[in-house]
A and B are shown apart, each in its own frame.
Chain A
Amino acid sequence: MRSLFWLAGIVLLALSFTALADGRVVDKVYHPYVGALERDVEYRSLYQRQSQHPDNNTLAQKLGYGFAVSERAALAFYLLAERVMPDDYTVASYEVELRYMLTEQGQYNWDWGLLFEYEHQQQTNSNEITTGLLMEKEFTHTSLTINTLLVYEWGGNIKNELETEFRLQYRYRYLPALQPSIEIYSGENYKGAGPGFMGVHKFSPTRQLKWEAAMVFALDNDTIDRTLRFAISYQF
């Protein structure tokens, strides 16, 4: 009951934001934790669909390599390829990402982390810096994860602007391989929510595969109808 109260309050808070973000709002919901020896190769994919919508048939793919640089910090490097029209698929940008774990898991009522990202768009010669708070709280068998992000874009032909993004995931830790979730996203011209799941499979003591996916549906008329996101990570 208490968890429902928290969840309802935070969802109302998220949807009340006058959010501003015109980039890819749907993306991974980051947990605020860093493993001291973590190292992984990750692939992410995003596909959007709505006939007559300007972003119809958009495909974005991300390939990255990440590793811990200390017990609390992890770095990751990504290449991002995008497509809007069938014949314009290309490597669009590269990105460097730093996650920092502010508190130990369970130390306080909420667990806290920080995210810093720098992305350079090759085609438009523009840049984007993202920073924000990563938060998580455990409710017995469920976990609530929230990302509140500030995004600043500049350079190229784009207008310099400051944007905000909000991501939320409420996850039921049913089995290691199957953890169903509800995800909510908010940004400029985007308000969406939908079901998702994540899971993990261990191959050996030091090698495992993690996956997650979600289908996000529009909550208003500005938002593209359907967004599918998928991520898979090989940790070693």
Chain B
Amino acid sequence: MRVSRQYLWLLLLGSFALSARQEFSLKLKDHLFSPARLTVPAGEKIKIRLINQDDTPEEFESFSLNREKVVLGQSQAVIYLGPLQPGEYPFFGDFHPDSAKGVLIALADAQWRAHQQQQTENNETETPHVD
């Protein structure tokens, strides 16, 4: 029983481990996600700030990401993800599935660096910041 208790304490302490996450922004306006293709790094924990600029609530849903998150009208919600395997993860707005659709693209390290380089060259503003 002593071993079991030690294991339980390790489990409890380890379960609250924190790490810095890159944050990405996903906007919802007129029941459309922007960007509809959101590129993120694979293999690390990230968070997505979902900003609902519509007056009605929406539910971010993705079976492949295992997430369902309601964001009320004119408000924000944070979705915590990762580490993701490289690949594409479709998502949609549960209340407006015909229009609110998108895909999250998780890139492996080398591809992510190349993507960031291209973003810098294009002087675009999708570069994330760290908490």
Contact = CB atoms under 8 A, between A and B. Distances in A.
Contacts of B114: none
B66 A108 contact: no
Contact of A35 (B18, B68, B72): B68
B13 to A, nearest CB: 10
A176 B61 CA distance: 12
Interface residues of A, number: 29
Interface string A104-147: 11111110100000000000000000000001011010010000
B63 A173 contact: yes
Interface in B78-97: 78-82, 85, 94-97
A135 B4 contact: no
Interface of A, secondary structure class, is loop
**Residue among B8, B15, B59, B72 with the highest chain A CB neighbour number at 10 A:** B15
A135 B15 contact: yes
A13 interface: yes
Interface in A29-84: 33, 35-37, 71
Interface residues of B, number: 30
A205 B57 CA distance: 12
A9 interface: yes
B108 to A, nearest CB: 16
Contacts of B57: 36-37
Nearest to B57: A37
Given A13-B7, A16-B1, A106 B70 contact: no
Interface of A: 9-10, 12-13, 16-18, 33, 35-37, 71, 104-110, 112, 135, 137-138, 140, 143, 173, 176, 205-206
Given A106-B80, A205-B97, 11 more contacts: A13-B7, A16-B4, A35-B59, A36-B57, A105-B80, A108-B17, A108-B18, A109-B15, A112-B15, A176-B63, A206-B94
Interface of B: 1, 4, 7-8, 11, 14-18, 45, 57, 59, 63, 66-70, 72, 78-82, 85, 94-97
25 contacts: A10-B11, A13-B4, A13-B7, A13-B8, A16-B4, A17-B4, A18-B1, A36-B57, A36-B72, A37-B57, A71-B70, A104-B78, A106-B45, A106-B79, A106-B82, A108-B15, A108-B17, A108-B18, A109-B14, A109-B17, A110-B15, A143-B66, A176-B63, A205-B94, A205-B97
When A and B form their complex, which 3 residue pairs have the shortest distance between CB atoms, in order from nearest? A106-B80, A110-B15, A36-B70
